[in-house]
Amino acid sequence: AGGGRMIERLRKWYYSAAGFNKLGLMRDDTLHEDDDVKEALKRLPEHLYNERVFRIKRALDLSLKHQILPKDQWVKYEEDHHYLEPYLKEVIRERHEREAWNKK
């Protein structure tokens, strides 16, 4: 149990140190957009996609101005949900299935 708490503290520290949360971004907003991610983005419900676009545009604007959000607007580790992950897992599973089928 003690090791688990240590790992969780390390994750929180790394999350904060990465800095993307200070621009209002969530972890899934920072994923490299390879073909799998692009397909997963197409499957997002419209409201999640629009929220993502807003966060990215705001972060780009802040970055250009060399600013960060006020601390009360930073995305907290506990609030960062992996909104894209279920769609991405599905896309990857389907791709692996296609690849296995094509090998036959």
Per-residue pLDDT of the chain (104 residues; tens, 9 = 90+): 677 899 999 999 999 999 999 999 999 999 999 999 999 999 999 999 999 999 999 999 999 999 999 999 999 999 999 999 999 999 999 999 999 999 87
The model's pTM: 0.86
CATH code for the domain in which residue 98 is found:
1.10.1090.10
Query: What's the CA gap between 95 and 9, in Å, rounded?
Result: 35
Q: What is the domain count for the chain?
A: 1
Q: How far is CA 11 from the centre of its chain?
A: 15
Domain holding 45, by residue range, is 2-103
